[in-house]
Amino acid sequence: MSKKVKDFGIEKTLRNLGIKDENKGTSVGGEYFASGKMIESFSPVDGELISKVETSAESDYDRVIETAQNAFKEFRLIPAPKRGELVRQLGQKLRQYKDDLGKLVSYEMGKSLQEGLGEVQEMIDICDFAVGLSRQLHGFTMHSERPGHRMYEQYHPLGIVGIITAFNFPVAVWSWNTALAWICGNVTIWKPSEKTPLCAIACQNIMIEVLKENNLPEGISSVLVADHEIGQKMVDDKRISLISFTGSTRVGRMVSSKVAERFGKSILELGGNNAIIISKDADLDMSIIGAVFGAVGTAGQRCTSTRRLIIHESVYDEVKNRLVKAYGQLKIGNPLDENNHVGPLIDRDAVEQYTKSIEKCKQEGGNFVVEGAVLEGEEYASGCYVKPCIAEVENSYEIVQYETFAPILYLIKYSTLEEAIATQNDVPQGLSSAIMTQNLREAELFLSHAGSDCGIANVNIGTSGAEIGGAFGGEKETGGGRESGSDVWKYYMRRQTNTINYTAQLPLAQGIKFDL
């Protein structure tokens, strides 16, 4: 580990979170085991080896499934408010470990320390949300057409919920799913990204403390650090009632079809190609801040990152010039140093995609007003640091229709709001969108049936980030899934209609007569 990063206390952080030099990557609770290949987790911050993890093999997978099945039989019988108490305690543990876990997220994934801490805060927030929700898992009652009958709806837990997460939010997305799945009475099996395995092990270690303190069975919370083959087994396994998948549209399309084939349920959080419309009536100071953070935050590796700015022709040049000036002030470097704005990409494969996308954009006619580059030097020794860039493009360019997980921002000019909305919607993805305007009519049109076709539509707020109180997800090739707040809990349960006859007769529905 480099001396510079040692100064940030990473070694102590790893000890506090129970991360060893070598770790077993399978856990059904307090016991870790594995019999697969060994993988290494390198930090994109400095290229140093953080730790090694032995991955899960097929035999480990079967043991996890069997343990989870047995745990579900017991866990589903615990009253929902008591399951909520379990989640409350997890939230308290996360408060205790917030600094360490946030620092690990920053170091293993590469996002800024403040973003790492913010991600852990999201975990705490969803725990708080779920605790309250554990007393509100309500159904509906309705009037029966038959005399002496009562009808109502109720919800039951599904069983095993499989969670497959991506590297860019290595802990928060797990918690969004897990907190809700648990209060609903399900057990969870988590397959994290192989690029951020230590974050998953750290979360499991924290959860183990809660399970042991409450004398709860193994299998309520399980982790499988494994390759895509184990992920495929999860997708194909009819014993897993729900698969929540976060990742690329390409893989999500396969997950959706495979889970549907076995009549399972899926929650898909796939690609985003998010735009901010900057109106002639926008507050430009606010617009620049929202655009820059949305484009360069997490080095452009958020699913909600701002990819496109659709700017009114009357303010286009001013916005462009102000963006160029703002990009000139960006500080790129170690994300654990709070003076830096932009950290590294996750690995060198991501850097290659960045450079290929820039070249493709130029081939299609893109004009770069801020040039991109792969940064070199001792501070950038990992080879994962790149320069955020800006290009003037047409929305029809093939590269603009594609999501590149990197800090590349595209500028597009428009004349009328209707044209801007059409441009915003004219991509395969439909996750997050925003308009910057002080014109009420423009704002309302953007939010109307004729407006944004995305799952998230904001006014005078950027595209990046979301509060846990609202349902998170998108339409079209984003997959249609929803996670986190609102009534998303219903995804994790099966719905049942009940009719009770409290008379001595058996009248049939619709007045049908069937006398014997």
Known catalytic residues are 269, 303
Pair 436, 279: CB distance under 8 Å: yes
309 DSSP β-pair partners? 276, 411
Distances (CA, A) of 279 to 130, 408, 420: 38, 21, 9
Residues 154, 156, 157, CA angle at the centre, nearest 5°?
155
d(C-alpha 307, C-alpha 297), whole Å = 12
Beta strand 408-414 pairing with 389-392: parallel
d(C-alpha 326, C-alpha 345), whole Å = 20
d(C-alpha 359, C-alpha 376), whole Å = 19
Q: What phi and psi, each to the nearest 5 degrees, are found at residue 301? A: -105, 25
DSSP label at 386?
B
Count the neighbouring beta carbons within 10 Å of the beta carbon of residue 375: 16
d(C-alpha 343, C-alpha 382), whole Å = 11
Integer Rg of the chain from CA: 25
Q: Among positive and negative, which fits the CA dihedral 213, 218, 219, 223?
A: positive
Question: What is residue 389's three-state secondary structure?
Answer: strand
Q: For residue 65, which of 168, 153, 194, 161 has the smallest C-alpha distance?
A: 161
Pair 334, 343: CB distance under 8 Å: yes
Q: Among positive and negative, which fits the CA dihedral 222, 174, 266, 483?
A: positive
> How long a stretch of residues is the chain?
516
